[in-house]
Amino acid sequence: MEALTTTAILNGLRTHTLGRQVAYYQTTASTNAVAKALAAQGAVEGTLVIADEQTAGRGRLDRRWLAPPGTSLLFSLLFRPQLAVARASALTMICGLGVRQAIRELTALPAQLKWPNDIMVRGRKGGGILTEVSSSAERLDWAVVGIGLNVNLPVAALPAEFRATSLQQELGRSTSRVKLLQLILLHIEQHYLKLQAGQWPSHEWASALETLGQRVRLHTAEGAVEGLAEAVDDEGGLALRLDDGQLLKVWAGDLVALTSSEAAAGEEKGPGPPTR
């Protein structure tokens, strides 16, 4: 197994800021937890916290993030942008775009994104992003963006209901985690520079979202609704056109693209109350 050491990460890294300070752990509870503690202690922008294994890796909606040791990229990046807290989702967007671009460039796999924060390969989840922020008076003090990516992971190691995949599963061979990480950091940094120059990422992000323009089912804590995933706004909110014509704006939930027969059945129903 290729070693994911600080020296290996820095050797050939082409960024100016991201990943220039590295905190590597063979095992830690959660790289996001470490990065948040470092942020509170004044760590510099671009600090990378990375681990070969997490004992309490966390996903969105308080879920666990599972990854056998040494198989994945499990890391968190510290940003200190001049942004209103309501606009922190731009960081999730640029990180998703950077990961997608790096996977495509290194492996030629058709990586895509799925609202709100999934990294998809051939219709299955291959990674996810968890952004956590600290703010005062509506301004961001810092944001930690945690990224988990199934690289050389045998999917049989994960529960089947996760419907997960990995780069290894899709390629039939392993991928260098160091090279992939270096490329991810480079692409995220390029997007971050554009963001700092005032170029908002939502349009590019929208064009990388695989479920946009499709009929979908959205699962939330309150239940499920079906509709057309019509658009995303600058803050990353999803506009869902319900079957009764209402436009529902949502910021969280799990999105499932409906199969063509499910979608056709929904359209035949015509306007009516949303399914809950």
Residues in contact with 250: Cβ distance below 8 Å, sequence separation at least 6, in sequence order: 218, 220, 237, 238, 240
Distances (CA, A) of 47 to 9, 53, 154, 253: 13, 18, 29, 29
Q: How far apart are CA 196 and CA 190, in angstroms?
A: 10
Examine residue 30 and tell whether it contacts ligand BTN (CB under 6 A). yes
Site for ligand BTN, residues 101 to 140, rule: CB under 6 A? 117-118, 128-130
Q: How far is the CB of 132 from ligand BTN (least distance, A)?
A: 9
Segment contacting ligand BTN by CB under 6 A, of 144-152, 174-182, 220-228, 258-266: 144-152
Site for ligand BTN, residues 32 to 61, rule: CB under 6 A? 32, 54, 57-60
Q: How far is the CB of 261 from ligand BTN (least distance, A)?
A: 28
Closer by beta carbon to ligand BTN, 46 or else 57:
57
Q: How far is the CB of 75 from ligand BTN (least distance, A)?
A: 6
| Helical (H) or strand (E) element with 219 | strand 215-220
Examine residue 203 and tell whether it contacts ligand BTN (CB under 6 A). no
Q: Enter the tokens of residue 118.
A: 């999934």
Contact 238, 228 (CB under 8 A): no
DSSP structure class, residue 156: G
Q: Enter the tokens of residue 107.
A: 């492996």
Contact 70, 54 (CB under 8 A): no
Residue of minimal Cβ distance to ligand BTN: 128
Distances (CA, A) of 79 to 92, 95, 143, 256: 11, 11, 5, 31
Question: Which of 31, 166, 175, 202 touches ligand BTN (CB under 6 A)?
Answer: 31
Q: How far is the CB of 163 from ligand BTN (least distance, A)?
A: 12
Site for ligand BTN, residues 58 to 77, rule: CB under 6 A? 58-60, 63, 65, 74-76
Q: How far is the CB of 129 from ligand BTN (least distance, A)?
A: 6
Q: Which residues bind ligand BTN (CB under 6 A)?
A: 30-32, 54, 57-60, 63, 65, 74-76, 117-118, 128-130, 146-148
